[in-house]
Amino acid sequence: MHCQRDERDCEAAAALHGRDSTPRLARRDQRRLCLLIACSIGGIKIKGAVKDTAILFVPMLPALLIVILFPQRILWLPRLLMAQYVK
């Protein structure tokens, strides 16, 4: 891999590509790094990108909690329509 920037950028890019020459990043760190790289390429501020993605995650969290806490309420329709497949 050929990099003309700083050595840390090369290491980060190699880690994202799964090269064994650099220490592996945790998945969470890879996601953060991908966000930083995408913002850099797109020329947008990180604050704006986080705000745009938070708009998607905020409604998802209550829906996920409802599914986790009340699975019987969610599964009543599949059980009604396809009782032999959903137990």
Question: Is a pLDDT exceeding 60 seen at residue 10?
Answer: no
Domain assignment present for residue 80? The answer is no
Domain assignment present for residue 57? The answer is no
End-to-end alpha carbon distance in the chain: 52
Per the CB < 8 A criterion, the answer to whether 39 and 31 are in contact is no
Q: Who wins on pLDDT, 1 or 52?
A: 52
Number of domains the chain contains = 1
Domain residue limits at 3: 1-44
**Per-residue model confidence as pLDDT tens digits over 11-21:** 555 555 555 44
**CA distance linking residue 8 with residue 37, whole number of Å:** 13
**Per-residue model confidence as pLDDT tens digits over 19-60:** 544 456 566 677 778 888 888 888 888 888 888 888 888 889
